[in-house]
A and B are shown apart, each in its own frame.
Chain A
Amino acid sequence: MLRIEFQIRPAGISSKLFDLEEQIRSIEVDNALPATGERIFLFLTVQFDDDISEDVIAGQLPNTKVVDTTKAEVNQHTYYLSVVADISEVSVLALLTKNEAIPHRIVSQNAHLNVVATVRDWTHLKEVAGTIESEHGSLELVGTTQTETIGFPLGGNKIKRNMSGKLSDKQLEVLETAYQMGYFRVPQEVTAEEIANESDISRSTLSERLRRVEHNFCELLFGPQR
């Protein structure tokens, strides 16, 4: 099997939300479930640049019913949206599943819709890419890798929500600062000293907090330490 990543232009619900006056940093499809007929439940994580009300969001999505808007505990201006919409609002998801490709990530940011999916082989890749390209006008393959397993479909939201309850506010804050400043990039874009300065804490406190974060992540993955 092949895991593929490609980019297309935002369409449907993504492009409608991007048309809001409030700046949006990203929209991710966390999950989708069938409702009735051509309607589906859509679970989205949307990062705005500022706070936003459910009314503003609903006003932008005339044929979509906003079922719930929950502000995330972490990540300022991040909202979990639950909506019922026409499947055409996320046509790339429909095209992937109709063609029996497994969607893993569907994220809109920087005027692109970035998609990660699994296909059976090269022939399947061409079929899927051809169908999406004819529907969306263009498609740019970003990358590919060989995989033995289908992997987990969508559902990034579950991980994010699970993680958020397992870390303290201070740990989350320092983790986000380190991440946003490029501490986990290879090569590193920032030194520990710079993150400590930015967070107004000492180097040793930074180190301690990041290690606690790692420990908590490991506990979540592997269970309690033996």
Chain B
Amino acid sequence: MTMILVVKSVDQHPSIREALGSVVTPGETVYFLRLPTVRCLGPLIQEISPMVEYDVEYTIDCLPEGYEVSDVVDFAVEVGADRICIGIFERTLTGKARIDDLTQSIVLHDHVSGDLVVGEDTIILENLSYEGEE
């Protein structure tokens, strides 16, 4: 199993913990995919300690400056991601997880489908399949 954690902020601990804690099976490969605006994931990773605490292998990758949603989807296809986890940073007045432009673009992308689960701090797209992608 392979998972992508989209990292939008260095203060994303709750969503990463939720993703790692609730959906990862031991030995899973995790790709921390950071936005270009997010610098230096060292302290975040060190604090969460994915290998020790969650028994997962991980790598850190970065989206290019001026990235588009296709960059995220291409990356997901390339690594064969079964899951994409996106942090929830804000709730609406009625308690819904607020959706930003990037999340909307991924969720409504023509070529990505699967199951969408809204957690406490993370939106989890799982059982992913990629139609029309090579």
Contacts and interface: CB of A to CB of B under 8 A. Distances in A.
B116 A122 contact: yes
A142 B96 contact: yes
A176 to B, nearest CB: 17
Given A121-B115, A143-B91, A3 B96 contact: yes
Interface stretch (B35-43, B73-81, B106-114): B106-114
Interface residues of A, number: 19
Contacts of B91: 143
Interface residues of B, number: 20
Nearest to B103: A141
B108 A142 contact: no
A145 B97 contact: yes
B58 to A, nearest CB: 26
Interface in B113-134: 113-118, 123, 125
A140 interface: yes
B108 A144 contact: no
A116 B92 CA distance: 12
A122 B115 contact: yes
A5 B116 contact: no
Interface string A130-149: 10000000001111111000
B104 interface: yes
Main secondary structure of the interface of B (DSSP, over half): strand
Contacts of A32: none
Nearest to A130: B108
Contact of A121 (B95, B97, B98, B116): B116
Contacts of A142: 92, 96, 98-99
Contacts of B108: 125-126, 129-130, 141
> Per DSSP, are chain A's interface residues mostly helix, strand or loop, or mixed?
strand
B94 interface: yes
A122 B104 contact: no
B118 A140 contact: no
Nearest to B104: A141
A143 B92 contact: yes
Given A122-B113, A145-B96, 13 more contacts: A2-B118, A3-B96, A5-B94, A122-B115, A125-B107, A126-B107, A129-B108, A142-B96, A142-B99, A143-B94, A143-B97, A144-B99, A144-B123
B96 to A, nearest CB: 3
Nearest to A140: B104
Nearest to A124: B116
Contacts of B114: 122
B115 to A, nearest CB: 6
B94 to A, nearest CB: 7
A123 interface: yes
A46 to B, nearest CB: 22
Contacts of A121: 115-116
14 contacts: A5-B96, A116-B94, A121-B115, A122-B107, A122-B114, A122-B125, A123-B113, A129-B108, A130-B108, A142-B96, A143-B97, A145-B97, A145-B118, A146-B117
A2 B123 CA distance: 12
Contacts of A145: 95-97, 118
Contacts of B113: 122-123, 126
